Structure 1
Amino acid sequence: MASRIGELVLGCRDPEALARFWCDVLDFAVLGREEDGGVEIGPPEGAGGPQPTIFLSRTEEPEEGKPRLHIDVNATDRDQDAELERLLTLGARPADIGQTGEEPWHVLADPEGNVFCLLKARIAPV
């Protein structure tokens, strides 16, 4: 038996605001809230399915520098250009991490500056 990713943890200053952003991006729902302000989001059917949940952990001082882990997203029902426009409307912004401009993906940052990539390939919704 192998392990699989059940949850990704992202430190942030405002878990509620970031939960709204990522729920809109991924069509997720809030699955739970903790007393310390942490928010868990995931597929509306809940945790334990094929997609990992994301736990947004409150921290006043996010770590400086490039994170070792980031999220890659793929559009499911539109092309990459249309999805890029949607993500920018939701509050994402272009990010420069040294890419050449020739990559088939877009590097973006969420409202708190966490870098993520919008990949070119469409994938089927889960």
Structure 2
Amino acid sequence: MACRISELVVDCADPERLAAFWSEVLGYVEFDREDDGSIAIGPPGTGFGGPQPVLVLSPSDDPRTGKLRLHIDVNATDRDQDAELERLLALGARPVDVGQTGAESWHVLADPEGNEFCLLRARLRPL
């Protein structure tokens, strides 16, 4: 038997802001709040334990230093990469340079708190 990724926990200064951003990016909904200020978001109708991992935005005052060692990759489900890039930028993502050459088939972006993520070229079927 093997494990499954059930949650990705992101330490952040403003869980409300990041929960709103990532909910829009992924089509997720809020399904839990903890007393410590953590907010869990996940796919509508499934939440924890579903086919996709949930995101837990956890409050932290610790400063981030350097490039993340782990990041999220996303793929559009209902439009091409250019249209999805436009949508993500309108939601508050911004392009970042982590040393890419310009020949990559993906875009490196950052969420409103500067956490890097990549928009890949392939379009995936929605779950």
Per the normalisation by structure 2, the TM-score is 0.97
Letter in 2 for 1:23: S
The reply on whether 1:22 has 2:22 as its aligned counterpart is: yes
Structure 2 segments unaligned to the other structure (5+ residues): none
Distance 1:106 1:62 in 2: 25
C-alpha contact (below 8 Å) 1:73/1:119 kept by paired residues: yes
Counterpart residue number, 2:44: 44
Letter in 1 for 2:123: R
Per the normalisation by structure 1, the TM-score is 0.98
Q: CA deviation at 1:63?
A: 2.7
Structure 1 segments unaligned to the other structure (5+ residues): none
Distance 2:76 2:87 in 1: 10
Identity of aligned residues (%): 67
Q: CA deviation at 1:47?
A: 1.5
Distance 1:96 1:59 in 2: 25
Secondary structure at 1:30 match in 2: strand
Letter in 1 for 2:68: P
Moved >4 Å (runs of 4+): none
Matches within 5 A, 1:103-114: 103-114=104-115
Q: Deviations over 1:18-65 (max 9, x none)?
A: 000000000000011111111111101121111000111100123311
Q: CA deviation at 1:66?
A: 1.2
Give me the CA root mean square deviation: 0.7
Matches within 5 A, 1:35-74: 35-45=35-45, 46-74=47-75
